[in-house]
Amino acid sequence: MSQVRSYDAIIIGGGAAGLMCAIEAGRRDRSVLIIDHANKVGNKILISGGGHCNFTNWGAEPADYQSGNPQFCISALSRYTPKDFLTKVESHNIPYHEKTLGQLFCDGSSTEILNMLTTEAMDAAVTTIVNCTVNEISRKYGFMLKTNKGDYTCESLIIATGGPSIPQMGATRYAYEVAKNFGMKVTDINPGLVPLRFRGEHEVFCRNLSGVSIPSSVSCRGITFKENILFTHRGMSGPAILQISSYWKQGQPININLLPDIDVDNFLLSELSRRPKGEVPTILSSVLPRNFARAFCNRYQINKPINQLSSKDLLSLSNKLTNWELSPSSTQGYRMAEVSLGGVDTGELSSRTMESTTVNSLYFIGEAVDVTGPLGGYNFQWAWASGYCAGQFV
């Protein structure tokens, strides 16, 4: 019979949250094992931020996060702040810069953040096993895990397996399965920070403009984001669309202001008096990408001199430019989603420790929990903060 190995804490999932939790628990002299089914830990860190890892955001506040209980994340985010993570980054001499809107990126590669975490985990005597599949978890000697690499027991079990976004990289719903098996609630799960798809005329419109980007503000259900939109082969993406996708629900429209920094009524009236015979696509090309202006005017049949538009036409054009209503057919799903919205119900967890309120010594951290941030370093900040907090108790 093979030997059963015992640890104080076993963390299933060696991503951002799992590594952070392991470092903190290891520093408390807890014996810690990370189990990951991938061939290496931290794969999502490596691909994050276009390879430069947007590792936190200066402005990350609890109010920025979506959750069934918006209060839940307050404790963790206030105990481990963006400044705390930045101090870690600086102590490893990793060069970084602020890109925009408080988003902090590595100057070099995301590998530097992963190396920093794996080095700290090693220094804290954390053991890691990759290519390891957990086949069964039972409550025996604390928890007993049967895996393809042997049997393990632990006092504290931490589930840090993230959510199902990017399944092609090995992302799974494992955390939800474990929670349900232990009788805990899991909220609805949906792809978030994901490009939107369109059907019919607008799909063709987008495809023809694929690659064109416009600084805009995009609204849905009373929430607005002002960043770029990007036309793609299948629909629309870009930061403003990714952000709004986390609020969009099937069947609802999104509204786009294509000229959020311009008083459009004044602009059209002054163009009318300045160059009455000016073609509308030419006039719009002075404030929008030329190919977009042409396609937009073709689509709405306003390929004519501006003085041929009636007052009603001008008003309608102004409305289209500032409140362009579009109805996405769907999102592009988990294959393209940066996060999974929803997760283990926060009503089932202690906001101080991340421990289950019904199953002693079982913890959930990171994206597995129903706390989701917007684009821009917020989701890593949640992973660091929730991992840090659990790491003080496991």
Ligand X SMILES: Cc1cc2nc3c(=O)[nH]c(=O)nc-3n(C[C@H](O)[C@H](O)[C@H](O)COP(=O)(O)OP(=O)(O)OC[C@H]3O[C@@H](n4cnc5c(N)ncnc54)[C@H](O)[C@@H]3O)c2cc1C
For ligand X, which residue of 15, 82, 191, 239 counts as binding (CB under 6 A)?
15
CA distance linking residue 275 with residue 217, whole number of Å:
28
Do 321 and 185 contact (CB within 8 A), yes or no? no
Chain centroid offset of residue 239 CA: 11
Question: Does the protein bind ligand X through residue 367 (CB under 6 A)?
Answer: yes
Q: How far apart are CA 91 and CA 77, in angstroms?
A: 21
Query: Applying CB under 6 A, which part among 2-10, 14-22, 226-234, 282-290 lies near ligand X?
Result: 14-22
Q: Kindly tell me which of 43 and 332 has the beta carbon lying closer to ligand X.
A: 43
Within residues 34-93, the interface with ligand X by CB under 6 A covers 35-38, 41, 43-44, 47-49, 53-54
Residue 66 pairs with which residues in a beta bridge? 372
Contact between 14 and ligand X by CB under 6 A: the answer reads: yes
Rounded to 10 degrees, the C-alpha dihedral 266/268/272/273 comes to 20
Considering only the stretches 65-73, 93-101, 169-177, 239-247, report the one whose residues sit in contact with ligand X under the rule CB under 6 A.
169-177
Q: How far is CA 284 from the centre of its chain?
A: 34
CB atoms within 10 A of CB 207: 14
Minimum distance of ligand X from residue 190's CB (angstroms): 15
Identify whether the C-beta of residue 36 lies closer than 8 Å to the C-beta of residue 13.
yes
202-231 binders of ligand X (CB under 6 A): none
Chain length of the chain = 394
Residue 24 found at the interface with ligand X (CB under 6 A): no
For residue 366, state whether it binds ligand X (rule: CB under 6 A).
yes
Nearest distance in Å: CB 40, ligand X: 8
Q: Which of 68, 70, 108, 170 binds ligand X (CB under 6 A)?
A: 170
Q: How many other CB atoms are found less than 10 A from the CB of residue 303?
A: 12
Contact map string, positions 115 to 144, toward ligand X, x by CB under 6 A: -------------------x----------
Longest Cα–Cα distance of the chain, Å, equals 90
Options 158-166, 195-203, 228-236, 282-290: segment touching ligand X (CB under 6 A): 158-166
Residues 327-346 that bind ligand X (CB under 6 A): 338-339
Asked if 164 interacts with ligand X (CB under 6 A), we say no
The dihedral sign for the CA sequence 197, 202, 207, 213: negative
- Residue in 128, 103, 116 with CA at minimum distance from that of residue 381: 103
Residues at the interface with ligand X (CB under 6 A): 12-18, 35-38, 41, 43-44, 47-49, 53-54, 134, 160-162, 165-166, 170-172, 174, 338-339, 366-368, 377-380, 383
